[in-house]
Amino acid sequence: METNWTRLVTVRELGRRRKLRVEAGDTAIALFQTDDRIYAFRDLCVHQDRSLAKGTLLHGRVICPGHQWAFDLDTGYEEDQDLCQPTYAVKVEGDVVYVDLTRSPDYAETATSPAEVD
């Protein structure tokens, strides 16, 4: 399978905030870092077009600042809704975070722990 990895930021740039809005071409992406993974979501919420990077990380979910929809970090789904927030495949090589906007993540196979880059 061909991939189209785009360099976004370094793990250090993501840093302590654990969330960051970045651009990949015309696409706004919200990056989130939990204990051992980095996730990439389309930044604008499917419900109210609010920036998810301004949301809150809580219990494996990102909470939208608009109407508090809680999107699962692994799947992009909101438990009580039919809508799914678009997510993207992420990989970390060295200290650099890459995203592939052409495919959804398979965290079992592609997620890389930020601890592995230290």
DSSP 17-75: T-EEEEEETTEEEEEEE-SS-EEEEESB-TTT--BGGGSEEETTEEE-TTT--EEETTT
Write down the pLDDT at residue 102.
87
5-100 has CATH 3.40.50.300 classification: no
Where do the structural domains in the chain lie, given as residue ranges? 5-100
Q: Is 85 helix (H, G, I), strand (E, B) or coil?
A: coil
Given a contact cutoff of 8 angstroms between Cβ atoms, the answer to whether 34 and 57 are in contact is yes
C-alpha triplet 93, 118, 107: angle, nearest 5°: 50
Q: What is the pLDDT along the chain (118 residues), one digit of tens a residue?
A: 567 899 999 999 998 778 999 999 899 999 999 877 999 999 999 888 899 999 999 999 999 998 889 999 988 998 888 878 999 999 999 999 999 998 777 654 434 444 443 3
